[in-house]
Amino acid sequence: DTEVTQTPKHLVMGMTNKKSLKCEQHMGHRAMYWYKQKAKKPPELMFVYSYEKLSINESVPSRFSPECPNSSLLNLHLHALQPEDSALYLCASSQDRQGGRELFFGEGSRLTVL
Amino acid sequence: GENVEQHPSTLSVQEGDSAVIKCTYSDSASNYFPWYKQELGKGPQLIIDIRSNVGEKKDQRIAVTLNKTAKHFSLHITETQPEDSAVYFCAARDSGGYQKVTFGTGTKLQVIP
C-alpha cells in the first residue's frame, strides 16, 4: 500500500466548477510534488514544494493553484478547467529535494473535465 | 534541459524469458537514475535506482546498468513472471538547483504465460 494518500480517486467536474485535490503523507518527507499524467504518457512535473514553500512551478496555468498547509498536506485547487486538463494527477513526496531521494507516489486522482 | 529517450515502447516476452529496456539521457550533469513500475490504475512505484558513481546494481531478478560515457542505462528483468506486466519508466535526475526528475516515455511490458 502506498504511504501517500490522494483523495478523491475520481473527480468529474464542469468547466465552471471549483474543486480541490488532496494529498497526505506521514513519512516526515519535506518535499512534495504534483504531477500530471495523460494516458500512455509519462508523468509531467507541475509543482514542487520544499519545506512548505513553492520551489518549482513548471509554467502551469493559473487555473491550477497549489497549496501546502503543512509538511504533511498538499492540495491542488482547480478552477475554470478545460477538457484537455482531464488526466491522472499524481502526488509524490520525497525526504527532501536532494539528489538521489526516492519519490513515493500516491495512486492518483483521475480528473475528468466536461 | 534533460531529455530521456526510452526503447522499446512495447515489449512482449514469454514467461521465464528476460526483458531488457534501454534509456539514453542528454544531460551529463544527471547523477541519479531511478526506474519506476506503473500498474494499471496505480501510481508509479520505484523498483530500482542507480547513482552515477556505480556501474551496475542488482536486486533479485532486476538489474540496472549505467554507462556514463555513452549516457545510457538499461533495466534487465530475468525469469519474467506475469505479475511483471506493467508500464516501466526510466528517469534521470540532474544535480543542479532544481533536482528535477525527467521521465522516459515508458515501456509497456507484457509477459505471456
Distance CA A53, CA B74 (A): 35
Res A100 pLDDT > 70: no
Of B32, B43, B98, the CB nearest to A2: B43
CA distances from B69 to A30, A112, B26, B66, B75 (A): 33, 44, 11, 9, 17
Four-CA torsion A105, A109, A112, A113, nearest 10 degrees:
-90
User: Residue A58: its pLDDT value, please?
Assistant: 86
Query: How does pLDDT run across A7-47, given as a tens digit for each residue?
Result: 999 999 998 899 999 999 989 999 999 999 999 999 999 99
- Please give the grid coordinates belonging to residue B35: 526506474
In this predicted structure, the answer to whether residue A99 has a pLDDT above a threshold of 60 is no
What would the pLDDT profile of B38-92 be if each residue is shown by its tens digit?
A: 999 899 999 999 988 889 999 999 999 999 999 999 999 999 999 999 999 999 9
Chain B partners within 8 Å of A98 (Cβ): 99
User: Cβ atoms within 10 A of the Cβ of B39, count?
Assistant: 13
Write the single-letter amino acid at B30: S
A74 class by beta-carbon count within 10 Å (0-12 exposed, 13-18 middle, 19+ buried): buried
Beta strands in chain A (DSSP E): 4-7, 10-13, 18-25, 31-37, 44-50, 53-57, 64-70, 73-79, 87-94, 104-105, 109-113
* Predicted local confidence at residue A57, as pLDDT: 87
Residue of B32, B51, B103 with shortest CB distance to A42? B103
Q: Check B95 against A98: CB less than 8 A apart.
A: no
Neighbours of B76 (CB within 10 A): 17
pLDDT of residue B20: 98
pLDDT at A1: 54
Mean pLDDT of A52-81: 94
